[in-house]
Copies of this chain bind each other. A is one copy, B any other.
Amino acid sequence: MNMKIGILGGGMVAQAIGGKLQALGHDVMIGIRNPDAGELEKPRNGGKPLKEWAATTGAKVGTLSATAAHGELLFNCTQGNGSIPALKSAGADAIGSKILVDVANPLDFSKGMPPSLLPEFAHGTSLGEEIQKLLPNARVVKAFNTIANAVMVDASLVPGDHDLLIAGNDAAAKAEVSALAKSFGWASIVDLGDIVGARSTEHLLPIWIRLWATSGSAMHNIKIVR
């Protein structure tokens, strides 16, 4: 079923997910804080200038609030250290009770590489939980935050059997996100329970980064064995 989908954030993760969804037939808008002409021509956090991205994909670009209003289902692809203000700018009214897939990771680059987790999201909470607290009516599903952006939308880039990890309070929302993930090629999806499970997937970033640093490739993931 094709949907209107809003992607909050305009970097490489937003472009990978938004581009894939548009290619699959969905009606995608990417939202950034200031989508003015100059901003659309700048390269963005590992991605293309959004003017070029929109021309290539056929997707739209708008403000955060217009994107939240456009989507029947939303993705948070902002950087983790700016997700809370970006979601406030998108607006609780426009987000309402929609599914909000939280792909962000609360990484702290302020002390250099490798990044740590931001302390305010790493002890007794997580970014996913804080987003759910900020937007109690939204159906937050933490997902896709443990793999490279290319792998998020094409699971076959990592060979063999490996897992997409999801967590959230609403079973129907997780089922809908799982259906989207299957359209990206994900055969194995591990449900880590309610949104508290976001702690465990956000804590996977250090090993993801370490494997990247020691192997030179981002094309990896984990399989839960039990």
Asked whether any CB of chain B lies closer than 8 Å to the CB of A42, the reply is no
Interchain CB contact (< 8 A) of A226 among B203, B215, B226: B215
Could you tell me if A220 and B225 are in contact, using CB atoms closer than 8 angstroms?
yes
Instruction: Tell me which residues across on chain B come within 8 A of A207, comparing CB atoms.
Output: 165, 192, 200-201, 203-204
Q: How many residues of A contact B (CB 8 A)?
A: 43
Known: A222-B222, A223-B222. A214 touches B192 (CB 8 A): yes
Could you tell me if A199 and B114 are in contact, using CB atoms closer than 8 angstroms?
yes
Asked whether any CB of chain B lies closer than 8 Å to the CB of A92, the reply is no
Least distance between A142 CB and chain B CB atoms (Å):
12
Least distance between A223 CB and chain B CB atoms (Å):
4
What 1/0 mask marks residues of chain A from 65 to 96 whose CB sits below 8 Å from any chain B CB?
A: 00000000000000000000000000000000
Within 8 A of B (CB), among A17-61: none
Instruction: Tell me which residues across on chain B come within 8 A of A158, comparing CB atoms.
Output: 225-226
Shortest Cβ distance from A125 into B: residue: B116
Interchain CB contact (< 8 A) of A116 among B123, B192, B201, B220: B123
Known: A199-B210, A201-B207. A159 touches B124 (CB 8 A): no
Instruction: Tell me which residues across on chain B come within 8 A of A162, comparing CB atoms.
Output: 225
Asked whether any CB of chain B lies closer than 8 Å to the CB of A117, the reply is yes
Instruction: Tell me which residues across on chain B come within 8 A of A213, comparing CB atoms.
Output: 193
Asked whether any CB of chain B lies closer than 8 Å to the CB of A119, the reply is yes
6 pairs from A and B in contact (CB 8 Å cutoff): A119-B119, A159-B225, A160-B225, A161-B225, A199-B210, A200-B209
Given A192-B210, A200-B210, 17 additional A-B pairs, CB 8 A: A108-B123, A111-B123, A114-B199, A159-B225, A159-B226, A160-B225, A161-B225, A162-B225, A192-B207, A193-B210, A193-B213, A197-B210, A204-B204, A211-B226, A215-B226, A219-B226, A223-B223
